[in-house]
Amino acid sequence: MTDDLIPLEPEEGVDRFLSHRGPKWRDATYDNAVHRMGVFLDWCEEQGVDDLNALTGRDLSDFVAWRRDDVAPITLQKQLSTVRVFLRWAANTDAVRDGLAEKLQAPELPDGAESSDVVIEPERVKEILAYLDRHDYASRQHAMVALLWRTGMRRGALHSLDVDDLRPEDDAIVLRHRPDQGTKLKNGSDGERWVYLGPRWYQIVADYVSDRRVEITDEHGREPLLTTRYGRIAKTTITDNCYRVSRPCGLSGECPVSRDIEECEGTRDPGHCPVKRGPHAFRRSAISEHLRLGTDPDVVSERMNVSLKVLYRHYDVRTNREKMSVRKDQIPRQS
């Protein structure tokens, strides 16, 4: 029941919370809280939550499911911790039910998530692509990995693509926000853009469409790019496919953590592999590889639809030496 609660709009609640806690935090902590609560407000707006009184445990579960699409597990845990602090504050100010914060549960981290699930090494991606080139050319997995690696797009963006989004005359693909037809981009219409693939990468996708794609139309009359016999590929299937192709034992027949491959649970279910990688790992690695090869950060920001602040804070995994090497090529020569 909400009879004893005092109505409070999410935006006002967050403003009050930040004003109350801000003076006690360091600048970095405050900046992180602003970002994390901004994500929470985005979700509230998208879901039509206009009064914190109405929040339930089920709503919070939906929020976790919504957010986990776009960040690594360890990042999700950190972000939810801030929202949990907010909910405890909100309970003390009669804006939400007592105990609601404890219903905001973060998914358990898979083995090695603190390090291995955050990024995938560029050489490993190249090995995966080389393997698919030789043994499974133009398969759905091949097209999927090629798109993730070449464009660094989010899982949701990959899920949203249609055959009609291909632009053969430009070797490009178009990302569009179509929430009324079941597919959305993370940043809405601000995430719409053309992305150049280049002849090599475009050809892989084009050959998949012409030779191996399951021809099917979805309930909105659209022709999804990545399909199964049931229709548009599910987001969870994209994740499962990333897990599957990134298991080292699938390429080399050897396990880097010395597990018995025949007995390993990850052999049967890739989600249990301790060194598998998800879509977000491919995105983060693709962004860093673009920077590592000297692509202007502003170009990367537009191409990957990520702000420069977030790019440098969460996606740039180059070493300090690699960053210096890129800067070195742009320093004027002096006699």
- pLDDT tens-digit series, residues 164-176: 999 999 999 999 9
pLDDT-derived band of residue 84, with 50, 70 and 90 as boundaries? very high
pLDDT-derived band of residue 257, with 50, 70 and 90 as boundaries? low
Q: Is the dihedral of CA 136, 140, 146, 148 positive or negative?
A: negative
The alpha carbon of residue 229 and the mean position of all alpha carbons in its chain are separated, in whole angstroms, by: 25
Which of the pair, 221 or 119, is modelled with greater confidence? Answer: 221
Cβ pair 117, 281 in contact under 8 A = yes
Class of domain 10-103: mainly alpha
Instruction: Give me the percent of the chain exceeding a pLDDT of 90.
Output: 57
3-state secondary structure the chain: CCCCCCCCCHHHHHHHHHHHHHHHCCHHHHHHHHHHHHHHHHHHHHHCCCCHHHCCHHHHHHHHHHHCCCCCHHHHHHHHHHHHHHHHHHHHCCCCCCCHHHHCCCCCCCCCCCCCCCCCCHHHHHHHHHHHHHHCCCCHHHHHHHHHHHHCCCHHHHHHCEHHHEEHHHCEEEECCEHHHCECCCCHHHHCEEEECCHHHHHHHHHHHHHHCCCCCCCCCCCECCEECCEECCHHHHHHHHHHHHCHHHHHCCCCCCCCCCCCHHHHCHHHCCCCCCHHHHHHHHHHHHHHCCCCHHHHHHHHCCCHHHHHHHHCCCCHHHHHHHHHCCCCCCC
Write down the domain spans for the chain: 10-103, 122-281
Instruction: Give me the percent of the chain exceeding a pLDDT of 70.
Output: 93
What's the pLDDT score for residue 254?
73
What's the pLDDT score for residue 114?
44
Averaged pLDDT, 84-111: 85
What's the pLDDT score for residue 1?
40
CB atoms within 10 A of CB 165: 18
What's the pLDDT score for residue 245?
92
pLDDT surpassing 80 at residue 73: no
Distant-in-sequence, close-in-space partners of 276: CB < 8 Å, separation ≥ 6: 110, 116, 117, 242, 243, 244, 246, 247, 266, 270
What's the pLDDT score for residue 249?
82
pLDDT surpassing 90 at residue 86: yes
pLDDT surpassing 60 at residue 107: yes
In degrees and rounded to multiples of 5, residue 217 shows phi and psi of -115, 140
Assign domain 122-281 to its CATH superfamily: Intergrase catalytic core (1.10.443.10)
pTM of the model: 0.66
- Lowest-pLDDT range, 151-155, 237-241, 267-271? 267-271
What's the pLDDT score for residue 3?
60
Which of the pair, 99 or 264, is modelled with greater confidence? Answer: 99
Q: CA–CA separation, 307 vs 314, rounded Å? A: 10
Q: What is the mean pLDDT of the chain?
A: 88
pLDDT-derived band of residue 261, with 50, 70 and 90 as boundaries? confident
pLDDT-derived band of residue 326, with 50, 70 and 90 as boundaries? confident
Which of the pair, 325 or 58, is modelled with greater confidence? Answer: 58
What's the pLDDT score for residue 115?
40
Cα-Cα end-to-end distance for the chain? 76
What's the pLDDT score for residue 113?
43
What's the pLDDT score for residue 74?
73
Cβ pair 176, 225 in contact under 8 A = no
Averaged pLDDT, 87-107: 91
What's the pLDDT score for residue 275?
79
> Which amino acid would we find at residue 2?
T
